[in-house]
Amino acid sequence: MAIQIYELCGADETNLFSPHCWKTRMSVAHKGLDHESIATPFTSVATVEGGDSRRVPVIRDGDTVVEESFKIAEYLDEQYPDSPKLLHSGVDKAMTNFIINWSQTQLHPLVARMAIMEIHDALAPADQEFFRTTREKVFGMSLEDFATKMAATPDDLKKALVPLELTLKGQKFIGGDTPHFADYVVFGALQWLRICKGEAVLPQEGAVANWFNSLLDMYDGMGRAAKAA
C-alpha cells in the first residue's frame, strides 16, 4: 500500500511546493516505496490526522502516523531495512543536523527573500490570509515591504551555496557516492524555489546545478515533473 504524505499545496492542489515535504517525498522514493500525496492547504494542516500535527509533512503508513521529515526518514529506515538507507549511523545523523541548520538559516531565508510574493500568490485566498498574518508577524513588515526591502538575487543564492559547490566538485552527493537524507534536505530548499519562482533563478552551471539536475531526474523524474513557475 502506498505511503500517504500530507503535503502543503497551493490554490492548485497539484502545486506541492513545500521544502520539508519534498524531503519526505524524495525519502519515500529513495526507499523504493510508492506514495500518495494528500494535498493540504496551510489552513488545513491543523486538522491532519485528527489535529495532532501543526505542520507537514506527516505520513500515514498503514496504522502508523509519523510527523517531521527527519523522524520520517528514521522511521522509513527502521521499517524498511532492506532498501537503501537514508541515514547510516549516529555519526552521519548528527552531521545531518548541521546540514539542516545550514540549509534553514542560509538558504531558506534567501528563498523567502527571492520569492515571498510568488509563494503568497500561489495560495488559495484563505491560505493567503493565514500566510500573510503569520509571516508579517515574523518579518515585522508587510509581505510587500519584505519583498522589496529584503530582495535577494540569484547571485546571493550562488554565494550562499559556495560551501556546497566546493564540496560537490569532489563528490557526487553530500553523502558521497549515493544520495543521503542530507542531499534531500538541501534539494528541498532549491526545489521550493524552482517551483515558486522558476528555474532561471537557480544556478545554471557548476557542481550544484549538476547535482540538482541529477536529483530532479531521479525516481523517474519525480522532481522534474513538479511544474516550475
Binding site for a second copy (CB under 8 A): 88-99, 101-102, 105-106, 162-164, 166-167, 170-171, 173-177, 180, 182
Q: How far is the CB of 64 from a second copy (least distance, A)?
A: 24
Minimum gap (Å) between residue 103 Cβ and a second copy: 9
Closer to a second copy by CB, 108 or 135: give it: 108
The CA distances from residue 126 to 10, 50, 58, 210, in Å, are 11, 21, 22, 38
State the minimum distance, in angstroms, from the CB of residue 173 to a second copy. Answer: 7
Q: Compare residues 95 and 226 and give the one whose CB is closer to a second copy.
A: 95
Annotate 80-124 with DSSP letters as a single string.
-TTSPPS--SHHHHHHHHHHHHHIIIIIHHHHHHHHHHHHHHTS-
Q: Minimum Å distance from CB 175 to a second copy?
A: 5
CB nearer a second copy, residue 13 or residue 165 = 165
The C-alpha cell that represents 210 in the structure block? 549538476
On whether the CB atoms of residues 176 and 138 are closer than 8 A, the answer is no
Q: Are 41 and 129 in contact (CB under 8 A)?
A: no
Residue in the block written with cell 500518495: 36
Residue 225 sits at the vertex; the CA angle it makes with 224 and 226, to the nearest 5 degrees, is: 90
Q: Count of alpha carbons within 13 Å of 38, Cβ hemisphere only? A: 16
Distance, CA of 86 to CA of 178 (rounded, Å) = 10
- Closer to a second copy by Cβ: residue 57 or 179: 179
Report the residue number, 95 or 152, with the smaller CB distance to a second copy.
95
- Please, what is the minimum distance in Å from the beta carbon of residue 219 to a second copy? 20
What is the gyration radius of the CA atoms in the chain, in angstroms?
A: 17
Q: Give 63 or 177: the residue with its C-beta nearer to a second copy.
A: 177
Shortest separation between residue 195's beta carbon and a second copy, angstroms? 24
